[in-house]
């Protein structure tokens, strides 16, 4: 058989075992010559129109069933964490940390460029999209976005990636991989039982860049990504919350940000600002962030994920009696605290979670009940700050993260009223022994991931405001606004509602997926 480009329609694949990945949404524009771009991505949150959304008028929180779906989403995502020349690039985000726990963007691939909607995932590395032929791929989406199948036969710039390439050798370290007809095949398994199988291709990526403070232009770059032609499992094959693929922004060399930085098109630093349940998505920027007020903590070295050292927690003015060692990464690389924009809520190691809950119940003079292992307070007012204390997280290097009650509580519907329930859970509930900071914690903050310096920074931020990014020349900083780039269909930032459970922003710790391939 000749290369995959002439024979992709003949593959039949069988799959066993799996893990989980996270997705990102990207925007596409047209051609632009540049020296190290500042990429911009508006992001959307899925299902902002559904119950539980802060954008829905007259709603009073989410239902119990809604919350169950979100917890299941986070649980399935958590299974992934069980060992396995300067300009700005901008990606608009859509989606919501609630309801389905999905932020997505739009990107362009191929020549002529075709649009794809992909989930943004800081917990995985590889960008992959659904690819022809794909009998099980969804043809429509409840997110109200058009779906598209990548076709290597219909792009003039696409080609297969050899199994002798460095990219294929790297892929073997994060997935099951196999050479077939000199092409590089991969397999990823997910914690919910879904799987994806495909092969590596190289083609043109089209994305948005900022030139000056208010000019958006298209840029292009050759990039290696996955052509996924055999998906299984409802999360990848049903129309519910369907998108075209996953865009990984992890720490490894196959991630989009690493590939663009290696080609000296962008820096290896990026940031996101997620608007939470009261906004319409947010912003994702690749470039040197120059906002004053950012505080930083070092990443744990040699980790797949964006892992840091959390040391202490205070509730109000009371420092919790927690041994810092419970947060530490052990000798085998397990443990730590992961920043994960793909997880809706948050997980904390059991000893820390118990100390937090005990102190909260001690200082909050509000009746509470336990609903399906979740503590809910019988308090219906939206003014939670007058009753519930603030929380502070203390990190290595002296960085602190100030949290409001809305960063650890969510509003839930009950008969004729509403309650405020804990959006934090013990890590043992997801069979983990690490802590995960999801969107409930990260929302309404500018979060910066500096891969080169191996540090993560953050600050409270209005996600509808402009972000200052270095222009790399004497002209000073550029202002990147969420309004500069929007997600088509209309490309505007709208959130999805609902809680996402531990969809961690970790580079995939994949369960090795094994497959048999027949031509």
Tell me the Cα Rg of the chain: 22
Mode of pairing for the β-strands spanning 114-121 and 93-96: unpaired
pLDDT score of 199: 95
- Rounded to whole angstroms, how far apart are CA atoms 269 and 25? 18
CATH classification for the domain delimited by 291-462, as one of 1.20.1250.20, 3.30.1490.70, 2.40.70.10, 3.40.50.1820: 2.40.70.10
pLDDT score of 394: 99
Contact 471, 450 (CB under 8 A): no
Measured CA distances, 380 to 17, 53, 65, 368, 384 (Å): 44, 16, 19, 12, 9
Tokens of 242: 């369907």
| Active-site residue list | 121, 340
CA torsion angle for 418, 424, 430, 432 (degrees, to 10)? 180
- Rounded to whole angstroms, how far apart are CA atoms 480 and 508? 30
- DSSP string covering 260-314, please? HHHTTSS-SEEEEEE-GGGSS-EEEEES-B--TT-EEEEBPTT-SS-EE-EEEEE
User: Three-state SS for 484?
Assistant: coil
- Rounded to whole angstroms, how far apart are CA atoms 210 and 215? 6
- Rounded to whole angstroms, how far apart are CA atoms 308 and 435? 10
CA torsion angle for 295, 300, 302, 305 (degrees, to 10)? -80
User: Three-state SS for 411?
Assistant: strand
pLDDT score of 86: 37
- Is the sign of the CA dihedral 190, 192, 197, 201 positive or negative? negative
Q: Which CATH architecture has domain 12-285?
A: Beta Barrel (2.40)
- Rounded to whole angstroms, how far apart are CA atoms 485 and 466? 12
| Residue ranges of E strands in 63-101 | 88-91, 93-96
Q: Which residues pair with 117 in a beta bridge?
A: 106
Tokens 């048999």 sit at which residue? 516
pTM score: 0.77
- Rounded to whole angstroms, how far apart are CA atoms 479 and 475? 12
pLDDT score of 236: 78
Contact 506, 338 (CB under 8 A): yes
Length of the chain: 519
pLDDT score of 34: 33
Contact 208, 145 (CB under 8 A): no
Q: Which residues of the chain have pLDDT under 50?
A: 1-35, 47-58, 67, 73, 75-87, 96-100, 474, 489-519
Domains 12-285 and 291-462 share a fold: yes
**pLDDT tens figures, 331-365:** 888 899 999 877 778 999 999 999 999 999 999 99
Domain boundaries, the chain: 12-285, 291-462
- Rounded to whole angstroms, how far apart are CA atoms 42 and 325? 38
Residue 85 CB coordination number (10 Å): 10
- Rounded to whole angstroms, how far apart are CA atoms 488 and 105? 9
- Rounded to whole angstroms, how far apart are CA atoms 188 and 167? 16
Dihedral-angle region of residue 402 (phi above 0 means left; psi in -120 to 50 means alpha; beta otherwise): beta
User: Three-state SS for 85?
Assistant: coil
Tokens of 278: 């009261």
| Residue ranges of E strands in 378-454 | 391-395, 400-403, 409-414, 417-422, 424-426, 435-437, 445-450
- Rounded to whole angstroms, how far apart are CA atoms 203 and 211? 24
- Rounded to whole angstroms, how far apart are CA atoms 212 and 194? 44
Tokens 């032929």 sit at which residue? 133
- Rounded to whole angstroms, how far apart are CA atoms 259 and 326? 35
Q: What DSSP state is assigned to residue 487?
A: -
Tokens of 488: 């088509």
């Amino acid at each position: 058989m000749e290369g995959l480009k002439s024979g992709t329609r003949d593959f039949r694949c069988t799959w066993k075992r799996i893990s989980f990945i996270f997705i990102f949404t990207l925007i596409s524009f047209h051609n632009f010559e540049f020296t190290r771009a500042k990429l911009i991505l508006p992001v959307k949150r899925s299902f902002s129109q559904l119950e539980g959304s802060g954008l829905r008028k007259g709603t009073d929180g989410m239902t119990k069933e809604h919350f169950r779906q979100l917890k299941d989403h986070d649980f399935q995502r958590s299974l992934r964490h069980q060992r396995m020349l300067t300009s700005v690039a901008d990606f608009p985000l859509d989606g919501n940390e609630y309801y389905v726990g999905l932020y997505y963007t739009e990107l362009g691939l191929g020549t002529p460029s075709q649009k794809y909607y992909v989930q943004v995932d800081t917990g995985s590395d590889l960008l992959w999209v659904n690819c022809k032929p794909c009998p099980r791929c969804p043809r429509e989406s409840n997110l109200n976005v058009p779906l598209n199948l990548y076709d290597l036969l219909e792009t003039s710039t696409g080609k297969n990636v050899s199994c002798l390439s460095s990219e294929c050798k790297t892929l073997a370290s994060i997935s099951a991989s196999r050479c077939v007809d000199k092409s590089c095949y991969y397999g990823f398994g997910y914690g919910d039982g879904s799987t994806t199988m495909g092969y590596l291709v190289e083609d043109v990526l089209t994305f948005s860049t900022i030139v000056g403070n208010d000019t958006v232009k298209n840029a292009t770059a050759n990039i290696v990504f996955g052509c996924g032609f055999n998906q299984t499992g409802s999360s990848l094959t049903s129309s519910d919350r369907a998108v075209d693929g996953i865009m990984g922004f992890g720490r490894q060399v196959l991630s989009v940000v690493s590939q663009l930085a290696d080609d000296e098109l962008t820096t290896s630093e990026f940031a996101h600002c997620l608007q939470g349940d009261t906004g319409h998505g947010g912003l994702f920027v690749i470039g040197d962030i120059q906002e004053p007020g950012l505080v930083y903590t070092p990443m744990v070295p040699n980790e797949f994920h964006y892992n840091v050292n959390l040391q202490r927690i205070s509730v109000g003015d009371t420092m919790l009696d927690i041994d810092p060692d419970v947060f530490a990464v052990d000798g085998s690389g397990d443990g730590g605290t992961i920043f994960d924009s793909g997880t809706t809520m948050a997980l904390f190691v059991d000893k820390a979670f118990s100390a937090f809950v005990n102190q909260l119940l001690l200082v909050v003079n509000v009746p509470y009940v336990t609903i399906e292992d979740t503590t809910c307070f019988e308090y219906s007012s939206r003014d939670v700050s007058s009753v519930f204390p603030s929380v502070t997280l203390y990190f290595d290097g002296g960085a602190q993260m100030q949290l409001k009650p809305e960063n650890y509580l969510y509003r839930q519907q009950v008969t004729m009223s509403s309650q405020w329930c804990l959006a934090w859970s013990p890590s043992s509930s997801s069979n983990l022994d690490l802590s995960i900071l999801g969107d409930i914690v990260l929302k309404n903050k500018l979060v910066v991931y500096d891969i080169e310096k191996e540090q993560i920074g953050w600050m409270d931020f209005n996600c509808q405001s402009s972000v200052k990014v270095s222009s790399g020349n004497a002209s000073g900083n550029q202002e990147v606004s969420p309004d500069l780039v929007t997600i088509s269909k209309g490309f505007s930032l709208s959130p999805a509602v609902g809680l996402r459970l531990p969809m961690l922003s970790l580079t995939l710790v994949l369960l090795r997926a094994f497959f048999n391939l027949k031509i």
